[in-house]
Amino acid sequence: MTRKYFGTDGIRGRVGVHPITPDFLLRLGWAAGRVFASRGNSLILIGKDTRISGYMCEAVLEAGLSSAGVDVRLLGPMPTPGVAYLTRTLRADAGIVISASHNPYYDNGIKFFDHQGNKLDDEVELAIEAELEKPMLCVDSDRLGKAQRVPDAHGRYIEFCKATVDRGFSLKGLNIVLDCAHGATYDVAPGVFTELGASVDVIAAQPDGLNINDGCGSTQPQALCDRVVSTGADLGIALDGDGDRVIMVDHTGRIIDGDEMLFLIADHRAKQGTLVGGVVGTVMSNLGVERAFKARDIAFHRSLVGDRYVLMALRERGWELGGESSGHLICLDLQTTGDGIVSALQALVPLVRGERTLAECTSEIERIPQVMVNVAVDNPAEAAVLDPVLEAVKKAEAKLGDMGRVLLRPSGTEPVVRVMIEGQDMSEIDTLAHEVADVVRLAVR
Alpha-carbon span 109 to 274, nearest angstrom? 36
H/E element holding 406?
strand 404-410
Those residues with Cβ within 8 angstroms of residue 22's Cβ, 6 or more apart along the chain or in another chain: 56, 60
Alpha-carbon span 272 to 266, nearest angstrom? 10
**386 CB-contact burial (10 Å; exposed 0-12 / middle 13-18 / buried 19+):** middle
The candidate with the shortest Cα–Cα distance to 198, out of 221, 178, 217, 218, is 178
Those residues with Cβ within 8 angstroms of residue 395's Cβ, 6 or more apart along the chain or in another chain: none
| Beta carbons of 329 and 262 less than 8 angstroms apart | yes
**372 CB-contact burial (10 Å; exposed 0-12 / middle 13-18 / buried 19+):** middle
Give me the catalytic one of 42, 53, 66, 101.
101
101 is catalytic: yes
Alpha-carbon span 53 to 141, nearest angstrom? 29
Alpha-carbon span 11 to 28, nearest angstrom? 10
H/E element holding 222?
helix 222-231
H/E element holding 60?
helix 54-67
- Which residues belong to the active site? 101
